Amino acid sequence: MRIEFDEPKCVAAGQCAMVAPGVFDQRDDDGVAIVLDATPGPERFDEVREAAAVCPAAAIRLVEA
């Protein structure tokens, strides 16, 4: 699985960081998401899929192998 993050769309709601904290974080000055691990291991697939699903701005796209 590869995470494609469309930064200009991000409204910094932090849903991703809440659902998948090891994979996403938020930049300190404005809360825009940071992808910590763009190719997470299978043990994280569920939470990453959940993060993509709850992102209100549809800024997270998953390319599943």
Partner 1 sequence: MTEIEYPTTRESSCPFAPAATVREMTRDNPVGKVRIWDGSTPWFITRHADQRALLNDPRLSIDEKRAGYPHMTRARAASAPHHPQLITNTDPPEHTRLRRTVNAPFMVKRVEAQRPRIQEVLDDLIDDMLDGPRPADLVQAIGLPVPTLVITEILGAPYQDHELFQHTSHVLISHESTPEEAAKAGQAIGAYLSELLDRKTAEPGDDVVSEMAARVVAGEMTRPEAITMANAILIAGHETSASMISLGTLALLRNPDQLALLRDNSDDPKFVANAVEELLRYLTIVHSGIRRIADADIELHGTVIRAGDGVIFDLAAANWDDAEFPEADRLDLRRPARRHHAFGYGVHQCLGQSLARVELQVAYGTLYRRIPTLALAVPFEEVPFAMEGVAYGLKSLPVTW
Which residues in this chain contact partner 1 in the complex, by CB under 8 A? 8-14, 17-19, 26, 28-32, 50, 53-54, 56-58
DSSP bridge pairs for 33: 26
Q: Which is nearer to ligand SF4, 12 or 36 (CB)?
A: 12
Q: Could you give the residue ranges of the DSSP H alpha helices within 3-64?
A: 15-19, 45-54
CB 44 to partner 1: min, Å: 17
Q: Is 55 in the site for ligand SF4 (CB under 6 A)?
A: yes
Q: Is 10 in the site for ligand SF4 (CB under 6 A)?
A: yes
47 and 23 in contact (C-beta within 8 Å)? yes
